[in-house]
Amino acid sequence: MSISVSILQTGTIRIRPSHQTQSADRPVWLRRLTVIFGDRGWTEPLPINTYLIDHPDGPILFDTGESPHATDKGWLPWWQPFFHRAVDIKVAPDEGIGTLLTAHGLAPEDLQAVVLSHLHHDHGDGLGDLARARILVGEEHWDFYRKPVRATVEGAVPQHWPHGFHPELLRQTGPALGPWDATYPITSDGRIVAVPTPGHVPGHICVVVFADDATYLLGGDVTYDQALLDRELTDGVNNAPHLAIAQLRKIKTFAAQQPIVLLPAHDPAAAARLAAREVYRPSPLATDD
């Protein structure tokens, strides 16, 4: 069996333009207040992509997407203004991850693993459909998000995680890869690994897939689209913008060493890029002479 990647899209999300990107030099509190209260514009609807990796040892799901219940009254905490002022979510009943997996002939227990880039609502709300699956989360990320109140303040909805949820923790015990000093092993053959990309949130990870037809970097929210990454522009809601920019630079460095197809979660061009196996060709790093 070959190794390949496909998209499972769990609806769309619109965000404020200042959420998509704003200056990394602004104070974190001002960046977040701008997104929630100061920006009245919207982006175009952006996909909420998860990625299904076919692997000889069993399929692997990267992220779980958003739930069709996200617009139900009471699903999102009433006291968290971000959910009610800064995002506009559309997920049809047949776009939940459980339904999408069923359409592919898969049950949660058929998955070798579910790897989460991070636990924000639009990446972790599908966990309720995957209670019988093996869930992998980076250790640093879980240390930050394991407390429900802080997780909610930081954009997750932990009351909808499976009862007693405690993921299997990924640790950086794998070999170096490109600019990363260590990796998180996912498969025993070394063809699927996670790399640390903190910044958007503590402990955020991306997954590198050495597939038969190309090398893919599944980006989660390390960037919202390839153009922003290439320009080294970070998102507008994180609390470590310069650390986030450092991750973009690492990915550009890796892409210069190893041809990759870059697939962030919310990039409108990701599906076409995957279909064409379009390799990302990075511009020079911004600080290069």
Judge contact between 187 and 170, C-beta under 8 A: no
Judged against a pLDDT cut of 50, whether residue 185 lies above it is answered with yes
Q: What is the pLDDT of residue 95?
A: 98
Q: State residue 176's pLDDT score.
A: 98
**Is residue 14 within 8 Å of 42, Cβ to Cβ?**
yes
Average pLDDT over residues 14-20: 98
Q: Six-digit token pair at 164?
A: 């007693």
pLDDT at 275 over 50: yes
Per-residue pLDDT of 31-45, as tens digits, reads 999 999 999 999 999
Given CATH 3.60.15.10, say whether it is the number of domain 4-275.
yes
pLDDT reported for residue 287: 65
pLDDT at position 288 is 47
For the four alpha carbons of 141, 146, 92 and 104, in that order, the dihedral sign comes to positive
- pLDDT tens-digit profile of 88-122? 999 999 999 999 999 999 999 999 999 999 999 99
Nearest to 220 by CA among 78, 25, 27, 61: 61
Report whether pLDDT(7) > 70.
yes
| Domain extent listing, the chain | 4-275
- Flag whether pLDDT at 1 surpasses 90: no
Tens digit of each residue's pLDDT (9 = 90 or more) over 197-236: 999 999 999 999 999 999 999 999 999 999 999 999 999 9
Question: Do the Cβ atoms of 135 and 127 come closer than 8 Å?
Answer: yes
What is the tens place of the pLDDT at every residue in 145-182? 999 999 999 999 999 999 999 999 999 999 999 999 99
Mean pLDDT, rounded, for 186-190: 97
What does the block give as tokens for 75? 């699903």
Long-range pairs, 280-287, Cβ under 8 A, ≥24: 280/226, 280/230, 280/255, 281/255, 282/230, 282/251, 282/252, 282/253, 282/255, 282/256, 283/230, 283/231, 283/252, 285/232, 285/249, 285/252, 285/253, 286/231, 286/232, 286/249
Counting every residue written for the chain, the total comes to: 289
The pLDDT tens digits of the residues spanning 228-260 come to 999 999 999 999 999 999 999 999 999 999 999
- pLDDT bin (cut points 50, 70, 90) of residue 289 is very low
**Beta strand residue intervals within the chain, DSSP E:** 4-15, 46-54, 60-62, 87-90, 113-115, 135-138, 168-170, 184-185, 192-196, 205-210, 215-220, 261-264
Mean pLDDT throughout 265-276?
Answer: 98
What is the tens place of the pLDDT at every residue in 127-150? 999 989 999 999 999 999 999 999
